[in-house]
Structure 1
Amino acid sequence: MRKYIFILLIIFTVGSTTFGAPTKKLSQLKFEEDTDFNGTRLSDALALMSKVTKVTIVADSEVKDVIIDLYINKGQSLREVLDIIEVTNNLEEIYIDKIVMLTKTGKGSTTLIGKIVGESDQGLADTRVTLVDSEYKTIKTEAGGIFIYDNIRPGIYIIKLEKDGYATSSEVVDIKQNKTTNINIILDKKNKEGLVVVKVEEGLREKNLGSSKNNEGTEIVTERIELKHAYAEDIKGMIESISGGNLKVSAFSKLHMLVLKGDKTDIGIAKKLIEDMDRPVKQVRITAQVLDTTDNLFEDLGFDWLFSNTDSSISSNSVDTDGVSTEGTTSSFSSSTGAGVLSFLDLFNDADNLINLSINILQQTEELNVSSVPSVVVVNGEEAEFNVTEEVIVGTETDTDDDGNETETPIWEEAGTLFSVTPTIREGGDDPDTIILEISSEVSDFKLTSGYDGDSGAKLASTITTKVQVQDGEVLFIGGLKKTTVKETIYKVPILGDIPVLQTLFRSTSTTNDVRQIYIQITAEIVDQENSNKEIDLNSFRKNPATTGKLKRIYPDFEKPEEEGISL
């Protein structure tokens, strides 16, 4: 396209300060000097006229690149100039509010035209406009913040607006058949830190998108509702089931929006229902501590006795490896239980952090490992998972192609500690809220040998499934999960240990069973605005629940394993 130069400055004078209809106003605007538009794009010429006259004049996308060669004489009105442009290029005017749009004569297309402005009501050029999830290309606003989509299919669209230095915004618009839809949008400017200050709005955030009348003369209204907390699909299903089909509901999950279409009465009822259901969703913070101990460690240390006597008071001043020296009130116990038991009991006397300090001592003796201390916040009624696992090859899968070539693919499976919990908050009204915990835990391993045939990859698992009610912040203790690791070691003399018949004389096999028990300590806490961003205090989490009276136990009565073996 040729470069062009405006030889004369376009100066308009307004014949009247009172603006009537657009046609009357255009007739009052006159050129005071001769003006030469030589090789000018129509959109550029109209943009200059709009800037000087404050009248928004645009061209649709189909004609905006038309090149005009026009000489305007002094004294000609803007009305006459537009008439010349329209006649010579087969165009016509469409009036949308205070906007004049030039389009092809007799086009009769479905058009969307919009204006993007900032907080000072100034048009924002170069704003990226996208019709989400549609085949239409992203366009940019022109001078004055104007954008146009013409020949667009009727329907409900999501408009996404992006501009550097401004917050990204989205709007829902209902495009009517063979009509021009007008929309004005204000973008919020970001501050120096790149943040946008948003005003807190009370009640529903809603916008009327227009109305029409059906064949019976009933006014049909289209409204957009922005949800603050609830899921759009959930609210949509509820409204449709209650309205009995009288309302048309469209849900936009990504934008948390609903578009309602129906008569005013039905929409009014739906809005009241939405306002009642659109409540903040409560969340629960679940913190777990996974303890991996040697078999029957806690039973040998008297763990079950300690937690069944939480009302007893034990006071101690000194501990040695032969027994316990105590002063003050005591509970009876055997002083011949050994150093491990004595240390455990002395920690109980601390009455502040029994489990935490006991874990530290047991870790030093390698009798206990703390596998992990995960913490997660989960929405009320949703499942949270904690998995401490490893992947092993439990077999192979053989594929044969058309040429008879075989390909072996290893089969991977997970085993370890798998723990899931689903919290459900029960509101207590005047009483404190409680939490229902649905808990499922599994400790598993694989029975592996040197090959993958038969049951070599069999999974050995110990599981617990339960449901329990706890108070906000209470501690739960799960025990009774065992896992057994069978290790088979072959010792042989090189070469001689592989000779048939004689190999038994030069090789030996050793089998060991390593039995471990898994314990899971859980705390559940309702998250509100006051504690939603607080850090997890593990010291507070590990405080002795036996002395605070906040222990909930899921712990079976222990039985010593039989000498013949261990039952999983």
Structure 2
Amino acid sequence: MSRSFSPAPLLALLVLLSGCAGQQAYRDGRELIAQDQIPAGLQKLQEALQQDPGNAQYRSAYLQARERATSSRLQQAERQAQAGQGNLARTSFMSVLEIDAQNERASSGLRALEREQRQGKLLAEAQKDIDAKRYDPARQRLNAILTEQPNHAGARALLREVDEKTAPPVVESGLAKSYKQPITIEFRDAPLKQVFELIARRSGLNFVFDKDVKADAKTSIFLKNSTVESAVYFLLVTNQLEQQVMDANTILIYPNVAAKLKEYQEVLVKTFFLANADAKQVANTLKTILKTRDVVADEKLNLVIVRDTPEAIRLAERLIALQDVPEAEVVLELEILEVKRSRLMELGVAWPSSLTLTPLSTSGGVGLTINDLNNLNQRTIGVSDLSVTANAKKTDGDANILANPRIRVRNREKAKFVIGDRVPVVTTTISPGTGGFASESISYLDVGLTVNAEPTIYLNNEVGIRISLEVSNLGAATTTRSGSTLYQIGTRQASTMLQLKDGENQVLAGLINNEERSSGNKVPGLGDIPVLGRLFGSSKDDSQKTEIVLSITPHLVRTVQRPEAKESEFSAGTEGSFRRRPDMAAKAPTQMPGTVIVRSGPSAVGMQPAPAQPMMTPGQVPSTLPQSVAAPEVAPSPEPAASPLPISSGQPVPLQAAPLPLSSSQPVPVVPPPAK
């Protein structure tokens, strides 16, 4: 005779044993965590979860404990990293990975430490290159840093330094040398083209005039120890003219009128990809500040395309650099605590409040007969149930409801946090008239805890917070005639505006709801006797007190970036032109030895060889140049330097301002005015 073996009892026994083992591991884990032995406690909780993977309590306890442990260690590691304690921060991040190997925040922190160490070496090497005036290698290292971390403050500062030291001149490179040549000229009511011809001979530049430039235009200009660039600029501005660079040494001069500007002025098209700013807002800024009409904002790609003059494009670059900065952000750490205390005292004897006597039928029928009423006695009169209850009850209750949300908010953006239920509210609409009908619509009302916060981040690392707190609870329900259900909702609200420093804590309390109810049920007369009255009555005292406490702490993630003074203020030309005035605050050009000062006017015509030489009158020729003055080289010019210009009677005498290649024994040629 063979017996069949069923594995079901054995499986049940194994499940029971594993459940007991999981409970023991769970209890051990909670105790170890309470003793601050986090790794050992987490290991026990993980064992309990492995014994019973579907147990929600085990999983919740394990996840919460792991989150608390990793959060505290991550905060410590980030503080150490900010303080420059890289080794300690690395150890803290590694301890987080021992608890949670998949923690992305710790992995990112380790990568950030490695990147910061590598960038620190590149920054130090770039500083050495700058000190040694090796600007190209320094720029490459700084660009490598900014590719990884665009907001690296040290790399940006050094890159600005490199740009300033290697910045090209204001004018085109082909004209830079000629534009920076020193010059001293003095003209009064001289023909404009004649003055430009003098500058051309001095600098080697070629000037081409538009046909609409007035041939009889006259000008007055007095410049000492200035530059060719400044002389050209002042001549153009004072005579309503504009210039257009044609090639390395040729400049076109034309009237500053709308038709000529459209004909000669070159325009550029540049695309600006924005990282943080809004394309539409940037486009509006360019239209308002630069009066640029050809601006296209692509909101999908978040880019701005600008078509304007080179000067306007350069200004647009600076304006966009000021706007395209990351938004400031803050983490609001909230802690909401609801403390509810209830006290109930019920003591005494509850006597029946009424006595009901009911005649009984003796015939067994449903109703009473007149004979039954005539024969009423103690057997034919029924009495309702009489019950006496002795009450001796005292109830104390304390409840704490805690919410600890962490919300990351951008500057001047609204954040909302809701904990509670959404209660349906039915609204019935009845259409009037014959054949009218009733329709119902359902809307939902948030009941519970609602927090609204709107931070404003200031430049002094302070955060202004507009915050409102609402705590609502569902009360009694009421049914209307149409069958709709209405709820009574109790609410407590508080709203305020406060300003806190980074990491400063503020507690908002005092939202207290205190309810006290007293009721009694006693026999008239007997219930009013002192002490003994407790035997002939019952009293009930109910007290409920609820208080809401809100704690808020802001932690700045990114502050508002204040631009440097030289970036926030720059020259933008005039109302009619973006052309900037030459920097007159720059180092004054050194006057070349033998520089001639030319004076032109109806009263006197002459020249002054050097500052040490006296002024000469027309017809007076110095014998020789001073022996201590060496004749400098002459800039190339299209015509011989000594060729005088054809003049007529009464015209001012134009003389070349460049030093002439003369020896110490050669006289200086001067063209005297024609005799009348």
Q: Which has the larger radius of gyration?
A: 2
* Higher normalized helix content (fraction of residues): 2
TM range (shorter): 0.3 to 0.5
Question: TM-score, length-normalised on structure 2?
Answer: 0.30
